[in-house]
A = this chain, B = another copy of it.
């Protein structure tokens, strides 16, 4: 309750002016450093982000970025396999890592006085990783099992994978982060080392430290641990194959006997947030909220409450992406409603929205929610660390991140309509039906 009140009180102040104490600098070897001070508890989050994700892989070795992420928990010259995480845990901390299309990131959350320790270990595995064939065989089984669990066992996950492959005609966002199974099965030591040697270097990394940390002390530690690692002079420019014009509306039907709840989803190719030019992405962010964000959203109102055609609807857009991303819609039909009927109803709502535009009060309510959300988010140093790390690996700057809340607030109804007319173009879309197989009579 106190938080809600605080949100209301600050809602009139420009949001950018409220930015945390964020310090940003670059080491001589090209490694960027972001320090987010939050001294309320003697804890730090230490993250290293590499500007290298699955979309930076070579063709034919899908999954190698994520595979390498696993392998970074094997040994180095001075650390035995598993010793990294064991050391963090022994010191009362936790650690993990994650891989996406545009980045791979490693993090630890630990007592502030252990920053030196984790930084030393993280810098060590940036360049001193030691892998052998046995590591490959063991860990490859692990990632294949991870694929079994997360993808093969889930019709929705398989559906999303096939759908992404249809959304992108040329870009590697069409290839799953975890990898195509047949390519994962063939991943070898050479593949992992090639990716490691090419991308793991200080001039391709961003250090983010959030929490009880003094920028001057972080700089001294960063110079001590990371500053001594030479830049990789052969780091390739980051230019992935871009999409050609998408000229033909696409559809797919995925049938799986394990599907109990069918649904229809639609994705449109959409622009991402670009440095210094985030306005279109801001308009799309609001559009997604207007269409599918919560109980008062247009799709929710029309399809769940009025016609009761749907039991669930959604609209999503995240502009956090280095290259073109998607604007996504989903409608889960009520019992007895076919996917064709659900889809037609969804399209009717879109058509109506494109004619009438957003309700002014609704738009204001969403902006106010976004302001409140922004305040809440700032309460969590780890989530801020993640926000900056993701942004800096996806082509944005610290200034872009700090400008974003005000850019969202400045979006007008006409901006949203322009963005909607641009993006909701069926020629750039994939419509998917997830359903159980037809019953043969």
Q: Give me the interface of A with B, judged by CB distance under 8 Å.
A: 59-60, 62, 158-159, 162-163, 165-166, 169-170, 172, 174-175, 180-183, 239-242, 244-256, 427, 432
Contacts and interface: CB of A to CB of B under 8 A. Distances in A.
B174 A169 contact: yes
> Which 9 residue pairs of A and B lie closest in terms of their CB atoms, listed nearest first?
A165-B169, A248-B254, A180-B244, A251-B251, A60-B241, A162-B248, A248-B252, A250-B252, A59-B241
7 contacts: A59-B240, A59-B241, A62-B241, A162-B246, A248-B254, A248-B432, A250-B251
Nearest to A58: B59
Contacts of A432: 248
Given A162-B169, A180-B244, 9 more contacts: A59-B172, A59-B241, A162-B248, A166-B166, A170-B175, A183-B244, A249-B254, A249-B255, A250-B250
Contacts of A166: 166, 169, 250
B59 A248 contact: no
A238 to B, nearest CB: 12
A62 to B, nearest CB: 8
Contacts of A60: 239-241
Contacts of A169: 162, 165-166, 174
A241 to B, nearest CB: 4
A181 B242 CA distance: 11
A408 to B, nearest CB: 31
Nearest to A246: B162
How many monomers of this protein are in the complex? 2
Given A169-B174, A239-B60, A158 B244 contact: no
A427 B159 CA distance: 12
Nearest to A180: B244
A244 B170 contact: no
A174 B165 CA distance: 11
A180 B247 CA distance: 13
Contacts of A253: 248-249, 251
Nearest to A183: B241
User: Could you say which of A158, A182, A250 has the most chain B C-beta atoms within 10 Å of its C-beta?
Assistant: A250
Nearest to A159: B248
A431 to B, nearest CB: 9
Nearest to A171: B59
A163 B239 contact: no
Contacts of A254: 247-249
A163 B244 contact: no
A181 B244 contact: yes
B250 A182 contact: no
Contacts of A252: 248-251
Contacts of A249: 252-255
A37 to B, nearest CB: 41
Contacts of A250: 166, 250-252
Nearest to A241: B60
A166 B246 CA distance: 11
B174 A244 contact: no
A240 B61 CA distance: 10
Nearest to A251: B251
A255 B427 CA distance: 9
Contacts of A244: 165, 180-183
A19 to B, nearest CB: 37
Nearest to A434: B248
Contacts of A165: 169-170, 244
A169 B162 CA distance: 8
A253 B247 CA distance: 9
Contacts of A240: 59-60
A255 B245 CA distance: 14
Contact of A59 (B59, B158, B180, B251): B59
Contacts of A62: 170, 241
A339 B249 CA distance: 15
A239 B256 CA distance: 32
Given A183-B241, A240-B59, A248 B163 contact: yes
A286 to B, nearest CB: 28
